[in-house]
Amino acid sequence: MAKKQPNVIVFGIDSLRRDHMSSYGYGKLTTPYLDAFALGGTLFEAHFSPSIPTTPAYASMLTGMDAFGTDVVALRHKGPLGGHVRTLAEMLGDAGYNTTCLGFTGNPSSRGFQTYLNYESWLPDDTGRTPKAQLLNDVAIPELERLAADEKPFFLFMRHMDPHSPYLPPKPYDRMFYGANEKDPSNRSMEPVYAFKPFADFLKSWIPEGVTDHEYVSAQYDGAVAYMDACIQSIFAKIEALGIEEETLVVITSDHGETLYEHDCFFDHHGLYDCTLVVPLIIKFPGRVPAGKRVADVSLIQDITPTIVQLLGLEPPYAFDGRSLVPAMYGEKTEKVSEFYITECTWMRKHGWRTPEWKLIRALEPDFHGKPEIELYNLIRDPEENDNVADREPDVVAYLEQRMLAHIAKRESETGRTNPIYTNLDWSGTGKTFRTSQEAYESLYIGSISNARSLQAKEKEAQAK
């Protein structure tokens, strides 16, 4: 009898910053269970999601292609994922796998799963809190039992939403990282948050009334991460109890990071700063992935599918833009990624170029924060990207722009398509290209948790086409 293929479980944890995980050196113990999990696998220390937000990031993650290869850059991507790419669900389905997607129904990037399941990941319960990860577990664990009982191998993809706003972890996680008075009248740090019209009503709909301290809101983010970490342990325990740990490849990663109080972006994931581009990647597969290994070299989100395909011993359906990380896990010499193209199409349409030393960001139309058209940061001297030196370093700007444009021309030639950041002109859903920052400010508005949820979802009929 032929040996059963390994199972695959991917935790796609939305909005998880790797620098807020204790396994990546964060000073607060937010992820003790994921830390322990990482000791049994390989952790990638410099993993990036170059094209944000959710839709383009998952498109790259689940196809092995970059934004040029997927032709997807916008959150509100119009139409389905193109037929020129295959999703990991389609690849594994063709290889005889049962495939289930949990919490990602309706997104173009979730195409090809046989089973779609959902859970409440936005609206608070009658306590005013949102136990997102436990609600996911209530659906995921029975499905994991069902999949494990079948003779076929399975692919289970789970989209955790705890680090995604609204940050509403249940007790005691809401106070785990905060002990001050969040309603101190002398603290005025939340004033600019509440004054930012596009987000103000949304943020006020879930931040408790009277909160004046921005550190309280950031502590809710950390609490949500810690709560999720504890709930994920229940899934790890179930994998062990089912006796499938040795035959299951598990991937922990995220689509993008999160901006907390930095850069005036206020508890969301926009802005091409490293807090949104840096994400975790931990891979565990007993006997096939080294345990306790840490890889310092840069890896990119499009490397995940090629890595999974190689670990499973499958034939790729096409030449991936990403590359398998298996050689890096074993310390083999590989060509290092030293610079890469970055894009954003959430609330702002921008692109840029990142090297180990420099970050260039160029706006393609005015943004609602009134930021300059060109931003340049020295990542060595200014890792938090607070000092825009574009006016002081024109030669660096010109050099990086030349590198970026050469890369764009190369990828356009290879794909036979125009760079999608140039063609997604209705990325905002308003039917207009913004001429001024004030026009963008007046046009873009979330409003409520329900509206925020609707921006992330498409009708089910659109998903599988």
What is the chain's mean pLDDT, rounded? 94
- The mean per-residue pLDDT over the stretch 306-324 comes to 97
- Residue 123 has a pLDDT of 87
Cα 441–chain centre separation? 25
Confidence of residue 454 (pLDDT cuts 50, 70, 90): confident
How confident is the model over 358-401, as pLDDT tens digits?
A: 999 999 999 999 999 999 999 999 999 999 999 999 999 999 99
Token code pair at residue 449: 């948790």
How confident is the model over 236-272, as pLDDT tens digits?
A: 999 999 999 999 999 999 999 999 999 999 999 999 9
Of all residues in the chain, what percent carry a pLDDT higher than 90? 90
Print burial letters for 302-334: b (CB count within 10 Å at least 16), e (below 16). bbbbbbbbebbeeeeeeebbbbbbbebbeeeee
